[in-house]
Chain A
């Protein structure tokens, strides 16, 4: 039977051959919750009273309110700490990093099956793993029993050719793709990225792309593992043995739809309020849209190459008076590397504020909440109305280079176009 990579990984975890449309119980390699979804998961685990299966591979991240901004959230953190202790689960403290980044740095290997009570769990598909987001109760069942039920998704194949030119990056590509597919263009489906264009992408770029597949509604995004995947794992985890299994799609695997995109044709893109698929080339955006805040961070745009691209733009310059630039590294590991490389120095000299590793203002909880009528250009993944604070505020999504250039200009500007 000819299968695509997603069908193969699900088959291996179901103990039988599956294809798109089948409903099966699968064994999970990793399950995660964060501080927004985790307290409810713990209630369900405790009520079911079945304990926790392989607790060291069940991860709790205190990343959304990092550090806590309200006493109620501090209480939620303590509840998660107590349950981690009770069951021996893997606890990742405030400031350690965003769950998806820490999963990439320390945990996920090719061929694994990863589930999480966070919609951006799909990020880990960049390793050639099956990774998908679920709700608190589904993850409670996965944590207690080691299994979850899934319907095997049908797949859309996205063949990538070429490589980026100029200041275009992974974020511009995925925004462009979501604009093309629409916010529901891949609902229930796999977005499988293949081709020489993928091989040209760094692991960090692959993480950015897989992170945002949910914004087209997809169940998972996936890219076959290769030498770059192995190098990344070796670099981040020198102790890990190379004993993981690499799956590849069969030549005759079935796809519901196939499209080809040449990365060299991608230009800087932005998603305008209030929908991620409301995408336009930055060159077509009205320059009169003055911004109040520029945010570089999150599980989409807070990695080393993002910070390097932004630092390159702001180096030796000052952000526009009246604009706030907030830079929040995605993890403590990235924070330390950025410090060592002098990137934080560059940002602070330009007038930026450095935030604690975590989700920051992306989810409207802490670290840069938007006020009435305010506009923000952000490297994050969502621009839904009210997401970053006041329901009367406006979020524009763009690449790190574009956000940095916009902070210098005070309006949305692609890097290289600033004065």
Chain B
């Protein structure tokens, strides 16, 4: 995991489901991640993939990633170049999946983060600096076990090293 992440905010609301992130109509593309990633968050914002640049952040409100257990949801967000997801709360399986594939997820107050804001984030410390507004936000700390998995690059890598 990188010590510092820098990018722009892409704003989403409450209850962004895994069906909005990774629609079932592309189920057959699950074995072709680069192709599937072209549809990341398509049903929540059809222009997301066109607008986003590598390193940018997905920022949402409550219950991000609710619904199915499909790990392809965080996988294609990561594949599309997003460096971290910030939300007021996450659905349980999505949160775990994101950590397991090495994508930082941060639970924090996102009310004052607006579309296009430039952020500097230190994920291990849970620090978020909004360069555009000057405000600093603190994220809920990750469990030690989760930080270990993120630092290894994901659960598979962690298990191969440790078990």
- Which listed segment binds A: B20-28, B118-126, B128-136? B20-28
Cα A364 to Cα B163 with chains together (Å): 38
Q: Does A181 contact B (CB under 8 A)?
A: no
Q: Does B10 contact A (CB under 8 A)?
A: no
Q: Does B154 contact A (CB under 8 A)?
A: yes
A selection of 23 A-B contacts at a CB cut-off of 8 Å is A37-B70, A44-B156, A47-B160, A65-B28, A72-B31, A121-B69, A133-B93, A134-B96, A135-B69, A135-B97, A136-B71, A138-B100, A138-B155, A145-B163, A151-B143, A217-B63, A217-B91, A219-B92, A363-B27, A364-B27, A384-B19, A387-B24, A389-B25
For residue A11, which residues in chain B have a CB less than 8 angstroms away from its CB? none
- Closest residue of B by beta carbon distance from A145: B163
The answer to whether B66 and A183 have CB atoms under 8 Å apart is yes
**Residues 359-387 of A at the B interface (beta carbon under 8 Å):** 363-365, 369, 382, 384-387
Q: Does B111 contact A (CB under 8 A)?
A: no
Q: Does A20 contact B (CB under 8 A)?
A: no
Q: Identify the B interface with A (CB < 8 A).
A: 15, 17, 19-20, 23-25, 27-32, 42-43, 62-63, 66-72, 89, 91-93, 96-97, 100-101, 143, 145, 154-156, 159-160, 163
Q: Does A73 contact B (CB under 8 A)?
A: yes
Total interface residues on A, CB under 8 Å, equals: 55
Write the nearest CB–CB distance from B40 to chain A, whole angstroms: 14
- Closest residue of B by beta carbon distance from A186: B92
Mask: chain A, 369-413; 1 = CB below 8 Å from B; 0 = not = 100000000000010111111110000000000000000000000
For residue A363, which residues in chain B have a CB less than 8 angstroms away from its CB? 24, 27, 68
Q: Does A199 contact B (CB under 8 A)?
A: no
Q: Does A8 contact B (CB under 8 A)?
A: no
Q: Does A117 contact B (CB under 8 A)?
A: yes
Q: Which of B29, B93, B143 has the most CB of A within 10 A?
A: B93
For residue B155, which residues in chain A have a CB less than 8 angstroms away from its CB? 137-138, 141
Write the nearest CB–CB distance from A139 to chain B, whole angstroms: 9
The answer to whether A364 and B23 have CB atoms under 8 Å apart is yes
Mask: chain A, 111-129; 1 = CB below 8 Å from B; 0 = not = 0000011110100000000
The answer to whether B156 and A137 have CB atoms under 8 Å apart is yes
Cα A134 to Cα B163 with chains together (Å): 20
- Closest residue of B by beta carbon distance from A140: B156
Q: Does A255 contact B (CB under 8 A)?
A: no
Contact of A184 among B25, B63, B96, B163 (CB under 8 A): B63
The answer to whether A382 and B67 have CB atoms under 8 Å apart is yes
Q: Does A48 contact B (CB under 8 A)?
A: yes
Contact of A133 among B30, B69, B72, B159 (CB under 8 A): B69
Q: Does A23 contact B (CB under 8 A)?
A: yes
Cα A65 to Cα B27 with chains together (Å): 9
A72-B32, A138-B100 given; A184·B62 CB < 8 A: yes
For residue B24, which residues in chain A have a CB less than 8 angstroms away from its CB? 363-365, 386-388
Write the nearest CB–CB distance from B45 to chain A, whole angstroms: 12
